[in-house]
Structure formats: C-alpha cells, structure tokens
Structure 1
Amino acid sequence: MSSKSIKTKTPTFIVEIPLVVSSKDVGVLSSRFETGRQLYNACLGEAMRRLKLVKQSRKYLAAKKLKKGSKARTEAFKVANQTHKYSEYDLHSFATIVRNSWIGEHLDSTTAQKLATRAFKASQKVALGQGKKVRFKGKNQLKSLEGKTNKSGIRWVKETLIWGELKLKPYLTTYDPVITHGLNSPIKYVRLLRRRLNGKVFYYAQLVCEGKPFRKPKNQLGSGTVGLDIGPSTIAIVGDDSARLTRFAPELQFAEKEIRQLQRKMERSRRANNPQNYNPDFVNQKGRQKKGTVKKGCQQWNNSKTYLQTQTSKANLERELAAHRKSLHGKLVNEILSLGSVIKLEKLDYKAFQKLFGKSVGKRAPGEFVSHLKRKAESAGASVIEFSTQTTKLSQTCHQCGRIKKKSLSDRIHQCDCGVFSQRDLYSAFLAKFVDDNLLQVDQAKLAWLGSEPILLAAWKQATQKETNLRVEGRVPSSFGSFPESERVATKVLIADAKNLDVVPFWESQIEASQHFEPPSL
C-alpha cells in the first residue's frame, strides 16, 4: 500500500445552522427527501439480498470453520463477500445504476453514494451480529441527507447552502463565537437535516468542520485525574481536590402524568377508528372486563385528525424532555472536564441497566451521558479510560487492608473493620482514580486516602441534605445512604486514626474550642 492511499483522521466538529426556506423550497426538498428514502430502501434491500447469498455460499460456511482471529479466516470471509459483490463500493455501483432513472433528476451522485454507504453499514451490523434486523424507512422517516465533500452536491459557499438550483440562506440573528468559529473553519462536507417541531417542518444545515470546536473560557480543561462511578440514575465524581454525589439531570422535570394521559387518549382514538384490528373484549378469571388485544400480523390503520394532533403533542413533550436532558448532560460533562484531563470509570453494560432499571434509565440516560463525555473529551484533548469490573471490584474492595467483601445493592455504605468508612459510590469513584491496566494500585490509594476522606464525607453530607435536594429533585435517593448515623461513626474513626498519628483532628479541635467558649453575659 502506498503512502498516498493512507488516510489520516483529523479532528472534526459540527456546527448546526437553521435555514430560511420558502414554500417553493419546501416542495423541492420534500421531493428530494422522498427520493432519498426510496433509494436508501432499494440499496438496503439489495445489500440484504447479497448478504443472504453470502451466508448461503460454501465459501462462507468454510470460513466459519477456521480459527477465530486468524488471517486465513478474515481472507476467506473477504473472498466470500467479493464473490457475491457484498461491499460498500459494489453498493455504490448499484446506486449509480438505480440513479439512471427519475431518481437522477432529484439526487446527485455523491448524495446517492452516501445513502448507499448508510445502507451497507446497516446491513453490516446484521452480518457482524450487532443487530437482529434492519429497518426500512417509512414515509417522512428519512431525517438527513449529506454529501461527501464541500466541492460538489450539497455544499456551503459564502454562507449559503447550495444544492443544484437550491440556494438557502441561514437564519442568524446574531453571530455567537461558536457559529463564527465554525464558519471560519475548513468544511469537510455538509449535512442537510429535517426536523418536525410542533407539527411544522424546519430545515438545518450541519457543517462538518475540520479542527477542534470552540471552547468557552469558563469551560477550560483541567489537570489531574477524575474518578467516576455511574449508576442507573446517579453519578459520583471524585477529583484531586473536590467530590460530588448527584443525580443525572436533577433539574429535569418529567411530564409523566401528561404523557400517560396523551397515550390513553391516543389508544381510545385508535380503537374507535380501527375496531377490526382488535380482538373482542373478554372477561378474565377474576370476572373483570378487559379490552381486546391487537391482532397479530400487519394491519391497516386509519388515524383521525384528533389522533395525529395528540401524537404531535406527545412528541413535543418527549422532544423537549430529550433536549433539556442533553443540555444538562453537557453542563455536567463540562464540570467533569474542568476537574481533570484523565477520566476513569468502570466499563458497564448499559443495555443490562435498561432491563433492570428501565424506568430510571429511560429518564436519566446514563449511556447517552457516557457517549457525550467521550465525544467531548476527545475534542478537548482529554482521555476517557474504561476498565473492567471483573479485575477491580471497586465496590467490594478495601484499599487499606485488601479485604474483598461482596455487598448487595441495598448496602450503600462501605464500612470495614480496619476503619475505612465512606459512601459506597463515592468510595468507588475514589478508587477508580488509581486503576491502571485494569488493576487497582493500592499503594497510591493509601497515600491519597488521608487527604481525600474529609472531601468524600463533605460531598456525602451535601448530597443528603434534604433542604437542597427536596427543592430540586423531590426527595433524597435511597442509594445515597443515610449520613447522620455514619457521621457519628466516621467521627470516631477519624479521632482514632488521628490519635495513632499524634495529630489533633478537626472534630476534636472544635469540641475543645466549644468547651473554652464563654457565652456573653445577659
């Protein structure tokens, strides 16, 4: 392979700009998006057909019998794919053939190739076992179209989106530093986005730029190591000089009652307009009248205007909730990056979180937060290190004596006979700072524990203060543990350790000061 064929990855960031679209432009864009949807479905169907032929071939079956991870197995799979022309570039050729029709009047070659690439990657997930099936796009379900370069097809020239005869100006009232930085950066390619807000369609231009995104002065990258312990709805953050125990997006207001009411209204409307799609009502074993379930198989549904309006209202509530959660996640990510440039956390299975804590995970979205953290850390020059839970076992390990004790999920306090006492999540986040190569460095943890213990206790106390948490979150989560009793025990532990070290602790000095204090005379 020559040096010219090697492609080096460059830093990339995205700037999103709303567009001014007339009624005439809306008609042209709608037809192009519909054409792109049909081309995507055609490419996806062809990719799945070729994949089926590959899996039925003798070469593929022979390749499966070879040793996993060997070069011979990889080459055998490659030959099986080439035999039935199952590759990204072969699908590009198929898109070119399909485009030699009425589709070519609406889509350029680069946009068609990008749609073929998306279809091939979707089928590849099924081929690699990362997905069970592919999803074909229904009407108005294609949300974006993009080009390959900024030289042809969809491109951005002199603050104007140009796509053939279309010329769309941006809708910008002010040029903030983020947008100005994006407009002044080299543009790799442009993505045209379509969104439906409050029943209306809006179009946006996403400029995929080369370089690093603009960082505000208040969000500068810190120095040091930060340990994280992530739960279904909570997170513990421990830096070199500070610690915090909080929920994901505590300010988020969930419109559960309104969403349930809209869901019931949609179901009543659907039943009234489609009685043929439901089984007859029945009486259960307890003598209660139950509604009939939906019949199995593909059904034809007739949706009324009331149903569509209710569906739009429900979609708006969920969209606002997701946008607010994303904003709060970004704020928390900036706080973490301001504490240090090396972030360490356990590698968790967030799909298992969904099965065990579906309602909580659906509200707080910890997996989405970790993806946001990785993406922003990479653009800022920081590193996110995930380590295995099998070799570390932070929630069960005591760094002082090395004892490993299995705890149930209801045990929220780490208390060891050697004197170590802390909240479980904060303690795990503290130990995460000293994990290297999937192993806990006990010596480093022992040296840092004496200065970090008061910080962890202060963070625990602040997290369990009902006066602040009731105002924001509604109640103190049970996973935080109870601090008042632990404070009394922790005081005894600290006094005992301080006497062994011949040091007067803070708690004892406060007691002595209060004994010599004389109240003012009346």
Structure 2
Amino acid sequence: MAKSKTPSYVLTLRLKTEIYQEHKLSKRFELARSIYNACLGELYKRYAALKQSKRYKIVCKMEKGKERNKLFSILNKEFGLVEYSLHEFVKPMQHQLKKNIDAFTSQKVATRAFKAFETLMFKRGKKVHFKKYGEMYSVEGKSNSTGIRYKNGNVLWNGLVLRTIVKKNDVYSYIALKDKIKFVRIKREWIMNKFVYYAQLVLEGTPPKKYNSEGIKDGGSARKRVGIDIGTSTVAVCSETNVILTELAPNVAQLDKNIRNIQRSLDRSKRATNPLKYKEDGTINKSNKDKWIYSKRYMKNKAQLKELQRLNRVKRKQDHEILSNTILSLGDIIFVETMSFKGLQRKVKETAVNDKGKFKKKKRFGRTIANRAPSMLLEILERKLKYIDKSLNKVNTALVKASQYNHLTNSYEKKRLNDRWNDFGFCKIQRDLYSAFLLMNCKDNLNEIDRDMCNQNFEQFRSVHNLEIERLKLKEKNPVSMGV
C-alpha cells in the first residue's frame, strides 16, 4: 500500500471493554505476535540464502552507487526480501486465523516485521529480536472500510464491538472526529497489573487548534526567531523577547531513585534464588541451562517496576509536549545544532589512566539521555512545525561553534566543560543561554553567526537573561550543569 502524502495526526480514545472482550483481544494480540515472529523467521531464512549466493558477494565488492543499489534491489526481489512477497507468505496463516485476524491486519503485521528487518538489511542494526509472550502492544488496519474500523463511536473488528469513551466536555475530540479517518490502531498498555486498551484513530489533516479560557486560540508567535541549545539533561531557549533555562523532563527525576532501588532489589532476589546461575565473579554462568527461579516478592516488585517505568515514560512525554508548546509560543523559526545523541550514549572504547594511575570511567551520558530523551523534544517540535509547513533549522555545529564564539571580539575561545559562564568584563552571561542567543542570530545559510544581528539584539537578551538567572536563584535546587 502506497504511503499517504497527506498530513496525519493521531487521536487516542480509551476503550470501554468487558472481560470477555479483553480475553478475545488478548488472544488476537498473541496471534498477531505469532504472525510477526513467523514473518521474522522467514526473513532470516531468506536473508541467509541471499548472503550465501555468489552474485550477492560480487555486488558487495562493487563501488557504492546507483548501479550497485539497483543490483541489490533485483536480488532482494529474487530472494523474496520485499514487503509484498511477505504479504503472500502470511496468506495461508491468515486463512487459518480468519475468525480472529482479518487479511488487512495480518498484512500490516507482516509490513511491521519487514520494516524492523530492514534495519538489519541496511546495516542500521545488528539484530532484530523476536517478540516474547505479551510483548505485542498494538495492531492496526490499512483503512477504515474493512478490518479494524471506527463507526458511530465504536471500534469494530471481526465481530467485536468496542465502545470508545469521549467525555462531554472534550471539544478537541469532537472537532477531530469530523476529519477523515485513514485507519484505526488498537493499542494496549500494562497499567496497575492489567492491560488497558485504547483506539488510536489516524486522521487526515492537522490537529484542531485548542482554545484557552478566554476563547482565544493557543498558537505560536509567527515569524519570530528562536535559538535552542539542547544538552543531555538541560535545555536553553532564547527568543527575541524571552529566554528559558530549564531541566529536561524534570518529573522523571522524581521516580528515578525508586526505580533504581527496585532494580537493585530484583537483582539481589534473583541471585539469592538462582545461586548456580552465577559464576564466582558475579557474572552469569551461560553453561548452566537450568530454568530461572523467581520468588513471589520478585514478581511483585517486577510488576511495580513496570508501572514506575510506564509512569516515567508518560511524564517524560508530557513534560516535552508542554515545553515544546512553550517554545512554539515564542516563535516558529527555530534554530538548533546538529547533535548525535547516540554517540554521546556510547561508552568510550579506549582505556585511559588518570594522573593518579587509576583507570578512567568509560561511562558517558547513556542513563541521562535515556531518562531525559533530548532527541524526543526535537522530534515533537519537528512534528508540530510540520503542521504549519515548517521545520527545524539545523545549524552546522562544526562550522558555527556556538559554544566557543564571542560576537563582541569576533573570535573563538575553547572552554572546558565545567566553565558555565562567559565573562565579558562588564557582564557575565550563562554559557548555554549565550549559545542559544548565538543560534537565534544564525544566518540563513546555517553555517555562520550574523554578528550585526547579535550586536543589535544583545542588550535586550542581556536584560531578559538577568531576569531568568534571578528566577533560577530563587529555586531550591538546580542542576549542577547550569552553574547557577
């Protein structure tokens, strides 16, 4: 099925399910998981056969280019490593499961398996994992005409009629439901030791504008420039009229300590009930093939951990959505630096020794980035900008060097990571906020800072900067990286 070129957005509605409906849905999700794993297993077989062929080895040795890509495409079709070939593979399975899984849903499951396997084919990943029991969290159809579909407030799927819950004062949902529905997805989440089911309606168009208490549309400040200096745990925002220096996803930190304590408890319990599964040095003994034994307390704590991680995920997304709306209210011409957060997550490969002769830690920012998810904030901003036919302006980090540039002297000065302030003699400016200010005044070529624009806006920036620093000083606690 060709990818739709029209804009889309998602409306999520809670499903009111009876116990018998939940049992049926649980069964269908597991059948969908079986189809997914079968597709993945078949793709592994076909890929292994492809890699053993002589023609594939010859093509691999060719120079990269259009000719090489064309030959790879021919080989993929020949060995069945294409999406529509997998749709043919699932047909016999779907016929046996037609009372529960319709044709369109089975094809979308196959497409999902193929998209996951593409990461391995195109060397963007090392392995594609099979889904374990209970790990299938969503199924979807292809259109709103057959299979999983929405009609008159209900989601219909092979005899199941699932009522959606829309509150009377939910104006946003009522306006959104007037748009054309492209397809419907049924999603489930593990909440308080049970699965809760939702309908995600993928609608054509852009989300309705929300209204505030005064009846005015909430929206961004059009045609104003904004610079964003995003870090691993904090973000600095500078606009023509205001600045913000804040922690990324602050509500996540409130649960982080509880999660760590439960994880330690789980590890102790597992080691106590499975002493033969570990070596003397504490690592897992892979030669021991006995089944793992888990205590009742372990299973209870594991369920609690799962709930805390879900809450963390919800709070993180909610914090990012609120912050993105705040940023868009300042302006819609947004400048950010290109950053590789995956690179910051990786451990250092080389082993180094410090002055005292001790080994330096190889850890970098893996846990912080996983908790704060800075790239998620940029993705949300990118999505919301698309609704108004705009996108993020990604500045060339290597050429601009916002953290080193001084617009007053027009020079570059390297700074240590723990230097959090720029001393200009007559004033001190917080480093991250100054970087955001420079990014806001970047030229349209995204390769250099507009010095004249910096000089023109500096006094206004300086006044709002001082107000923001005073606000932060009144807070009980700020991240060390802010330097406040």
* Alignment gaps of 5+ in structure 1: 283-291, 483-522
Residue of structure 1 in register with 2:91 after alignment: 96
Inter-partner Cα distance in structure 2 for 1:346 and 1:420? 26
Contact kept? 2:273, 2:295, Cα under 8 Å: yes
TM-superposed CA distance for 1:339, in Å, is: 0.8
TM-superposed CA distance for 1:231, in Å, is: 0.8
TM-score (norm 2): 0.89
Residue of structure 2 in register with 1:354 after alignment: 345
Give the total of aligned pairs: 459
TM-superposed CA distance for 1:268, in Å, is: 3.5
1:368 to 366, 373, 376: 376
2:142 to 143, 148, 153: 148
SS in 2 for 1:255: helix
Q: Deviations over 1:78-105 (max 9, x none)?
A: 111122121011111111133233x333
- Structure number with larger C-alpha Rg: 1
Inter-partner Cα distance in structure 2 for 1:8 and 1:314? 39
1:345 aligns with 2:333: no
**Larger deviation: 333-342 or 370-379?**
370-379
1:201 to 188, 195, 200: 195
**Larger deviation: 242-251 or 265-274?**
265-274
Contact kept? 1:50, 1:84, Cα under 8 Å: yes
TM-superposed CA distance for 1:336, in Å, is: 0.3
Residue of structure 1 in register with 2:325 after alignment: 334
Q: Deviations over 1:408-433 (max 9, x none)?
A: 1111122358x785221111111112
1:307 to 291, 298, 309: 298
Residue of structure 2 in register with 1:479 after alignment: 481
Q: 1:71 to 1:15 in 2, by over 3 A?
A: same
1:412 aligns with 2:406: no
TM-superposed CA distance for 1:156, in Å, is: 0.4
Q: Deviations over 1:118-140 (max 9, x none)?
A: 11111110111111100100000
Contact kept? 2:99, 2:158, Cα under 8 Å: no
SS in 2 for 1:145: strand
TM-score (norm 1): 0.82
Residue of structure 2 in register with 1:73 after alignment: 68
Q: 1:164 to 1:437 in 2, by over 3 A?
A: same
Contact kept? 2:206, 2:387, Cα under 8 Å: yes
Inter-partner Cα distance in structure 1 for 2:23 and 2:4? 40
Residue of structure 2 in register with 1:220 after alignment: 219
1:22 to 3, 12, 18: 18
Structure with greater proportional helix content: 1
Inter-partner Cα distance in structure 1 for 2:403 and 2:117? 40
1:45 aligns with 2:41: yes
Q: Which runs of 4+ in 1 moved over 6 A?
A: none
Contact kept? 2:56, 2:75, Cα under 8 Å: yes
Inter-partner Cα distance in structure 2 for 1:445 and 1:56? 60
Inter-partner Cα distance in structure 2 for 1:174 and 1:328? 26
Written as runs of structure 1 = structure 2, the 5 A alignment for 1:2-401 is 9-68=5-64, 70-101=65-96, 103-218=97-212, 219-223=218-222, 224-279=224-279, 281=280, 292-296=282-286, 300-355=291-346, 356-401=364-409
1:428 aligns with 2:422: no
Q: 1:437 to 1:45 in 2, by over 3 A?
A: farther
Inter-partner Cα distance in structure 1 for 2:94 and 2:228? 50
Contact kept? 1:431, 1:440, Cα under 8 Å: no
Q: 1:80 to 1:259 in 2, by over 3 A?
A: same
Identity %: 35
Inter-partner Cα distance in structure 2 for 1:423 and 1:258? 33
Task: Return the letter of the residue paired with 1:84.
Answer: F
TM-superposed CA distance for 1:22, in Å, is: 1.2
TM-superposed CA distance for 1:63, in Å, is: 2.5
TM-superposed CA distance for 1:461, in Å, is: 2.1
Q: Deviations over 1:336-369 (max 9, x none)?
A: 0011111110011112333422333233221222
